[in-house]
Chains A and B, each alone.
Chain A
Amino acid sequence: MMISGAKIVVETLIEQGCDTVFGYPGGQVINLFDELYLANDRLKHILAAHEQGAAHAADGYARATGKVGVVIATSGPGATNLVTGIATAFLDSTPLVAITGNVPCELIGRDSFQEVDIVGITMPITKHNFIVKNIEELADTLRMAFKIAKSGRPGPVLVDIPKDVQIAKCEFEPKTQPVIPSPIVYAPENKLRQAAQMIDASERPYIYFGGGVIAGKAAAELVALSERIDAPMGCSLMGLSAIPSDHPKFLGMQGMHGHYASSMAEDEADLVIALGARFSERATGNKKRFAQNFKIIHIDIDGAELSKNIPADLAVQGDIRDALERLCAMVAEKKLPEWEARVDGLRIEEMERTKSALKRTYEKDCSSCPAPCDKTGMPASERLTPYGIIDAVSEHAPEEAIITTDVGQHQMWTAQRYPLKKPRTFLTSGGLGTMGFGMGAAIGAAAATGKRVVLFTGDGSFGMNLNELATAVTQKTPLVIVLLNNGVLGMVRQWQTLFFSKHYSNTTLDRRTDFVKLAEAFGAKGWRCSDTEELEKALTAAFAEDGPTVIDCIIDCDEFVLPMLPPGGSIDNIITEIK
């Protein structure tokens, strides 16, 4: 059939299995939006408040499901507003197809109204990108975009479509099936044999896994290996939720703000098995000090990650699930009671250090704190603390709830503490560290799954994209926003306290925002909580609501994220207590 480019886009999206797209209309995508209007019974479009929010929503949709998320924006500012969202997806390897309109081909390069070179701009933050100047190539380019986005290590792809290509007509035949990702890469047999030998010879193996285990659907295989070789596991921020937080071999996130036990166990190991992780400097600390005492087996689907940051003793490129399945069959089952006892000892040490760190904030004099509260004299049992709030939320939230976060202290506390159960239930911006990621991600995750969503955020991060509260209200997103409000940009303040002589340069917000009124103004419900009793009431009410709610939790401005490997430091400098 002869149809317009705009209709080809919509038909191809449907053909590729897309049910929901996120976006924002504008002059150069008006034809495309006309076709979305006509196809609204087959393809749902969720209108965001800002293109960045739409991009994060598509990202959240993808993270919650593993499917390709789609975002649509107009040319110029619409396209540039996507940039942070695309970069966020790129750094965390989420499959995303971003579609932008552009000025008609003959106006390109003339600095026309709302014209930018979005292909040039997004080249370093996409797996690949296209500009389609010939309508004959439109459908296949979009199919290729989906294929690239979901093949191998997933990532974002941008397709820029000038307006005249949306208007032009050409013959289109829908395919009966979505494109199939490129064939998986199998890890070479001899490399896996070598890995098995190294594992068999190891007395203190440690497994460090990342988001690749989630993307590669290898959680069961990971657990099987860990149990077979009696190895404790730690993970990067992106690895969280791959396995249940309470798995007996799991020590939690490692690295800059990771658990004491996992970072220490890794350092004391004689062999680190890195799975679908990339040794980011946040996970390793100082690279010169890292890996002094152990050998490394690194398995990843992306060959470019092998030995990129830390040289591996054995680098294996291949699909993680397949590699683990085969590796598990090759290694001998073993028990390592001494190593296990040592790791248990580290866990106990961790608990003691955590206790003493918490004691300090309970006893603090609050009178000079810029947080909008005064807790001086408040009994410790009534005080709101980050961990206390997270624990309370986890008791109220349904088990299948999807947890999203923004970026900063609240993100690290949630990563350390929240009891996660299933893969794809913890959505956070790890690589790029995008404040304001969570609102969009929560909306996208809820749209994709229909599940209850919780956003942990801070008063700094929330301010970045709180306009998406409007979207959440319109969409009746079942979203509980837990705002850890300390009146400061807490993570930077923490660094200023520790490394910049308490020069609190531009981190004291001193805002007068009433988040309850703000929630109400957007059409959501809100509560303000200063103590544990108020929090209990608010959580009960919030989780009974169908739509979005905001719980403004007042916490101390000098709560620290601990432990901490100082920037450029290593496990030797781990800070577990602030005097």
Chain B
Amino acid sequence: MDNKFVIAVLVSNISGVLSRVSGMFTRRGFNIDSLTVGETESSGFSRITISFHGDEDIKERILQQVKKLHDVKEVEVLNTNETVIRELLLIKVRNKSESRQDIMTAVEIFRSKIVDYSPTALICELTGETSKIDAFIELLKPCGIMEMCRTGIVAVERGENCLKTVK
């Protein structure tokens, strides 16, 4: 049975490391749903958040293969019930008088922000879990989406649990 998994991977912050991690997925035929990477509190490390779907067997194989990479220092499957997961969306829609009110309503209900406004187009910014973002996009579709960009998820576990950097 297919499940959705989110893994957090702590890697050395050196050139080529993203290729190594993403290349492993390609080479072994694993699919990535989303991948984000960014710096951490210590300059020597980056943190990669990868979401993918598959069964337990695939999850286990991915974990083992990721662990084997020399630049990978720590890897953990995040328990999605105990994790804060966020994604950022920037979406540009047509600014037409007949749909403006619909956009405004959606923005308000979803706690989105309008971050650019011109006579013909406007850009909304939205942060949230993947499902919230999906729903927002669905709502704006009839208003005419000109372009959009989403970051993929970042995730941090609640409470004391941390992905430790090697001190």
Interface residues of A (CB under 8 A from B): 119-120, 123-124, 127-128, 131, 148, 302-304, 306-308, 311
Find out whether the CB atom of A119 lies under 8 angstroms from the CB atom of B16. yes
B16 lies within 8 A of A304 (CB):
no
List 13 A-B residue pairs with CB atoms under 8 Å apart, sorted by A's residue number.
Answer: A120-B16, A123-B16, A123-B23, A124-B23, A124-B27, A128-B69, A128-B71, A131-B16, A303-B64, A303-B67, A303-B68, A304-B68, A307-B60
Can you list, as one digit per residue, whether each of B40-65 has a CB less than 8 Å from chain A (1) or not (0)?
A: 00000000000000000100110011
Q: Which of B65, B67, B70, B71 has the most CB of A within 10 A?
A: B70
Residue B19 CB within 8 A of the other chain: yes
Give min CB distance, A188 to chain B, whole Å.
16
Chain B residues with Cβ below 8 Å from A304 are 61, 64-65, 67-68
* B66: nearest chain-A partner, CB-CB: A304
Report the nearest B residue to A125, measured CB to CB. B27
Contact call B60/A128, Cβ cutoff below 8 A: no
Query: Could you say which residues of chain B place their CB within 8 Å of the CB of A124?
Result: 23-24, 27
Q: Which residues of A sit under 8 angstroms from B71, Cβ to Cβ?
A: 128
Is B20 in contact with chain A by the CB < 8 A criterion? yes
Give chain B nearest CB distance to A363 CB in angstroms: 48
Docked complex Cα distance between A492 and B15 (Å): 43
Q: DSSP class of B's interface residues: helix, strand, loop or mixed?
A: helix
| Known A128-B70, A307-B57, A307-B60: A123·B65 in contact at CB below 8 Å | no
Return chain A residues, CB-CB under 8 Å to B67.
303-304
CB-based contact B27/A311 at 8 Å: no
Query: Residue on B with the closest CB to A124?
Result: B27
Q: Is the CB of A120 within 8 A of B61?
A: no
A306 CA to B60 CA, complexed, in Å: 10
The chain A residue with its CB closest to the CB of B20 is A123
B37 CB to closest chain A CB (Å) equals: 17
Alpha-carbon distance A307/B63, docked complex (angstroms): 13
Q: How far is the CA of A120 from the CA of B60 in the complex (A)?
A: 26
- Report whether A148 and B70 are in contact in the complex, using a CB–CB cutoff of 8 Å: yes
- Chain A residues in 8 Å Cβ range of B57: 307, 311
Given A302-B68, A307-B57, 19 other A-B contacts at CB below 8 A? A119-B16, A123-B16, A123-B20, A123-B23, A124-B23, A124-B27, A128-B70, A131-B16, A148-B70, A303-B64, A303-B67, A303-B68, A304-B64, A304-B65, A304-B67, A307-B60, A307-B61, A308-B61, A308-B64
B104 → A minimal CB distance (Å): 48
Kindly report which residue of chain B lies nearest to residue A304, judged by CB atoms.
B64
